[in-house]
Structure 1
Amino acid sequence: GMSVVEDESELRTRFPAAAEEARSAFGDGRVYLERFVHNARHIEVQVVGDKHGAVVHVGERDCTLQRRHQKVVEESPAPNLPEEIRQDIRRGGVAFAEALGLDSAGTVEFIYDADRKTYAFLEFNARIQVEHPVSELVSGIDLVAAQLRVAGGEPLGFAQEDVAVTGHAVEVRITTEDPARGFTPHPGTVSVWEPPVGEGIRVDSHCEPGYVVTPYYDSLLAKVVAHGPDRDTAIDRMLAALDALRVEGVPTTREFCRFALDHADFRAGRVTTDWIAARGLPDYLESLR
């Protein structure tokens, strides 16, 4: 029952059509209106709180590069974000977590309208997320350890003024998917697995030679994370890490991730949530010809 309407004349035809689609699917034809963001970025704030009322943020992450509304690349801090927006989003994330009485780690997610330079609440994830390593690398805070401490009733152990974001971190998700076939998952057996090493490189993975990728769970093989004193250095280290990564036996997103990170649009911080479908994947497929 979702439909994008550009003007009033479209509204007159698409409103009843959306209502009928909703009625057929869910037995309820009620609809509501919300603003459509053409050039959207996905910005989220890492927060953590304890049972004693303390809540702090650990900076924000940019998770804009997505396929099928699922994240592919994450980085922290968010590039090309007006400083007043950055600080406001961080404060908003803390205020939201405080209102919930958060006593764990969580993520407050927002959609940022790059045209209007405004943002809106998207959702809240009351858990550690896949992309938490980039926040750990730029802050030096072990978020998993902090979550375990507060779960045991201990104080958080640090205040907002103790959190300092240093440098830049980028994470890519290496999954057993075939980008050339619309990121279709591909179960199979990993015959070769050699993770990269190097300055500023971190690899979180359960993978090993002989690991069997089943069709029943997420296709994620590893998170490769790079940290550097600035964004360009972090990206360059990531590109070198992806070049060094060896995984055979199943198709993966390694080559596509490398292509996307080295694309002029990503380098300039010009990507939006539909960039992969609209530009990144077509450019990648063209490069394979």
Structure 2
Amino acid sequence: MKKNKTAQKSKRTIAQKRENRYGYAFVMPWILGLFIFTLVPMIFSAVLSVCEWDIVTGLKTIKFVGLDNFKRLTVDPDFKKSLIVTFKFCLISIPFYQIISLGIALLLNMRVKFMKSFRLIYFLPSIIPVIASTMIWTQIFGEQGLLNQALKIFGIKGPAWLNNPKTALYALIIMGVWGVGNTMIIYLSGLQGVSAELKEAAAIDGANSFVTFFKIVVPMISPTIFFNVVMAVISSFQYFTQAFVMTEGGPLKSTLFYNLYLYTTAYKNYEMGYAAALAWVMFAIIMVFTLLVIKSSSFWVYYQNDDKI
């Protein structure tokens, strides 16, 4: 009996080791990718942030300068301008996109004919390549573009949206509504998980649609809202492509986003050390605001069997 038990245990151990080896083999590409394409570049950029390097002359010309790159941030007007533009964009776009996405998701959660087709139509813009959609919107925002032609119908003379410092940033924010499909789909998934019984119980108790939405639906989808807000905070601080293609930071640096300034510093001015310092400051900012959102979640995010409900 003991020999049989020992043999069975030995077989299980061998099978378990074999299974572990297969598991490690499948995970290894991801581990290598993380190490080669994430950890090594992060370490290299951390080293560059305290150095001076123009990227053209080779690694031998890297010069240690200590904290000079970070001290330069305090007197760099473009650094301050890019922070203001980025924070302004985040403060307006994050709640705006969340409200629009949730509103569309509520409409697409209704039970009407051809709803699957409507969902497809609303989601399609988010899978169009960013460059292609950006070029389309550049034409729409032109002085004689489609938007201004539509405003003419109502007797309104529209500005040259992308050439006016007062409107360029808002034009980019408006364009962002085009790509809310991903966020909308996540909200739709959350809405479909809301219990119909709870809504019916609220209706029986005399609650109207407004009360039902804010007292039942919003708390039930608060984990979904939390996820979308965190992702929006991260992506908004990294906003780059649309501004790079449409305005290149202009006019008068009114769309000089932080990530765009970082790119310009690195690949146009060839100041890789200073750009690395900018990157680490951006990493710190994103981390702080993400942690603030996560910390605040204990006050407004509700889960099943949560005694806060």
> Which of these two proteins has the greater Rg computed from alpha carbons?
2
The structure richer in helix per residue is 2
Larger RCO, structures 1/2 (Cα 8 Å, 6+ apart)? 2
The structure richer in strand per residue is 1
Q: Give me the TM-score of the superposition, normalised by structure 2.
A: 0.20
